[in-house]
């Protein structure tokens, strides 16, 4: 059965960065609207089953309210943490979902990648620094997801394998494996606190899988010195400090600062780099894990990220295959 899965991160687009910078606030009403449009469009475009991840804000439930569409809110625990997205992505893999739509920022896509590494994914940007997700309306995203899930358009024709940053932390009494999709930053701080990296002087190093001069956030540091396209292999490592180039970068939306870069090193596909000592790791822009003075962090960039579905390409394919022509089933109020 052709199945589309939808994940909406209720926490995206509401953090402290809105105080410091003119970053967008994404309200629940906005998110519900995007999901509702995606549901309608997916059902219109061949999805026979639409699974929605449960969330603390019941956004999926609200989006589906009153719609005549084959929607199911999947039965998974809701914790109000990233594990809601990770768990839902894993569940979608088990349910053989054909296309996943995820609403959030870079961090939400990261959690999808952790739960289902090979997810066929359309990431819709509702977060702060959105390098990985794209700004696309729910109507187009839902249509593309439905077309791919139903096989009207082949996923192999319209999706590309993205990169990810594979992170291993070996510390005093534990080891942690995690991933980032855009950047991993090493922060000289004592606390995770409000998560967003606010103070540029605390950034000591950044590994980026995608670093373009057109993005905002930590990856823009490398992006403005040594750009790495999202589709080319490998990544880049930058160490901050005096003695090298000084660049102006948009560390947050609408907010520029000067960064001193001591070292820039390209990273080949799979080449690992190890840093030791006390740090706070920021995954895709958010402080998330404290490493003790005894800890080591090993990082590499791999072409093993989610399969990113190109929405426009999918719709163009479908149009040339005459998939949008009115058919008999449309007469039955499909």
Partner 1 sequence: MSITPAVQFDLHRRMVRIRLFEEAAGRLAEAAKLPGFLHLYVGEEAVASGICGALNDDDHITSTHRGHGHLVAKGGDFNRMMAELMGKSTGYCKGKGGSMHISDLSLGMLGANGIVGAGSPIAVGAAFANKYRGRGQVAVAFFGDGATNIGAFHEAANMACALHLPIVFACENNEYGEFTPRDKTMAITDIVDRAAGYGMPGVIVDGMDVIAVHEAALEAVAKARAGGGPSLIEAKTYRFYNHHGVQNLGLKYRSDDEVAKWKERDPIFTLEDRMIENKVATRQRFDDIWAELRNDIETAIKFAEDSPLPTSDQVLVDVYSANGGN
Residue 193 interacts with partner 1 (CB under 8 A): yes or no: yes
Among 2, 7, 10, 141, binds partner 1 (CB under 8 A): 10
Nearer CB in complex with partner 1: 194/321: 194
CA dist., res. 267 & res. 110, Å (int): 20
Residue 66-95 contact track with partner 1, rule CB under 8 A, x = bound? ------------------------------
| Mutual angle of helices 138-149 and 28-44, in 10-degree steps | 40
Burial of 319 (C-beta count, 10 Å sphere; 0-12/13-18/19+)? exposed
Provide the minimum distance between the beta carbon of 29 and partner 1 in the complex, in angstroms, as a whole number: 7
Q: Which stretch binds partner 1 (CB under 8 A): 109-117, 186-194, 209-217, 241-249?
A: 186-194
Span from 10-18, 36-44, 159-167, 215-223 in contact with partner 1 (CB under 8 A): 10-18
With CB under 8 A as the rule, give the number of residues binding partner 1. Answer: 28
Among 65, 72, 157, 199, binds partner 1 (CB under 8 A): 199
Question: What are the DSSP calls for 140-209, one per residue?
Answer: HHHHHHHHHHTTSS-HHHHEEE--EEEEEEEETTEEEEEEESSEEEEE--S--TT-B---GGGEEEEEES
Q: Is 330 in the site for partner 1 (CB under 8 A)?
A: no
Which range touches partner 1 (CB under 8 A), out of 44-52, 54-62, 141-149, 299-307?
Answer: 54-62
CB 86 within 8 A of CB 283: no
152 contributes a contact to partner 1 by CB under 8 A:
no
Mask for 260-299, x = binds partner 1 (CB under 8 A): ------------------------------x-x-------
Yes or no: say if 291 and 283 are a contact pair by the CB < 8 Å rule. Answer: no
Using CA atoms, how far apart are residues 107 and 92, in angstroms rounded to an integer?
A: 18
Rounded to a whole number, what is the distance in angstroms from the first to the last CA of the chain?
17
Residues that bind partner 1 (CB under 8 A): 10-11, 14-20, 25, 27-29, 56-58, 189-195, 198-199, 202, 290, 292
């Amino acid at each position: 059965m052709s199945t589309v899965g939808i994940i909406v991160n209720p926490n995206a687009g509401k953090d402290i960065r809105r105080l410091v910078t003119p970053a967008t606030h994404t309200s629940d009403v906005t998110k519900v609207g995007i999901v509702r449009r995606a549901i309608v469009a997916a059902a219109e475009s061949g999805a026979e089953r639409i699974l929605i991840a449960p969330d603390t804000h019941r956004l999926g439930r609200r989006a589906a309210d009153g719609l005549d569409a084959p929607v199911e809110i999947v039965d998974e625990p809701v914790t109000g943490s990233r594990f809601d997205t990770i768990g839902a992505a894993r569940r979608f893999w088990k349910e053989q979902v054909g296309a996943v739509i995820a609403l959030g920022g870079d961090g939400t896509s990261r959690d999808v990648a952790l739960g289902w590494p090979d997810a066929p994914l359309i990431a819709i940007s509702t977060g702060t620094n959105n390098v990985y997700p794209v700004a696309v309306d729910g109507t187009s995203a839902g249509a593309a997801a439905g077309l791919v899930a139903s096989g009207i358009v082949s996923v192999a024709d319209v999706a590309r394998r993205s990169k990810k940053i594979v992170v291993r932390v070996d510390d005093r009494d534990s080891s942690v494996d995690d991933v980032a999709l855009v950047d991993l930053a090493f922060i000289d701080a004592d606390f995770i606190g409000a998560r967003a990296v606010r103070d540029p002087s605390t950034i000591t190093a950044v590994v980026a899988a995608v670093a373009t001069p057109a993005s905002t956030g930590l990856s823009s540091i490398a992006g403005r010195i040594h750009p790495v396209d999202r589709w080319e292999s490998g990544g880049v490592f930058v160490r901050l400090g005096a003695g090298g180039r000084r660049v102006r970068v948009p560390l947050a939306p609408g907010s520029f600062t000067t960064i001193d870069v001591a070292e820039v090193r390209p990273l080949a596909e799979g080449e690992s780099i190890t840093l030791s000592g006390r740090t706070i790791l920021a995954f895709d822009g958010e402080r998330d894990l404290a490493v003790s003075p005894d800890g080591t962090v090993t990082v590499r960039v791999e072409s093993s990220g989610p399969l990113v579905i190109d929405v426009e390409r999918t719709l163009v394919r479908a149009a040339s295959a005459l998939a949008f022509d009115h058919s008999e089933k449309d007469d039955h109020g499909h």
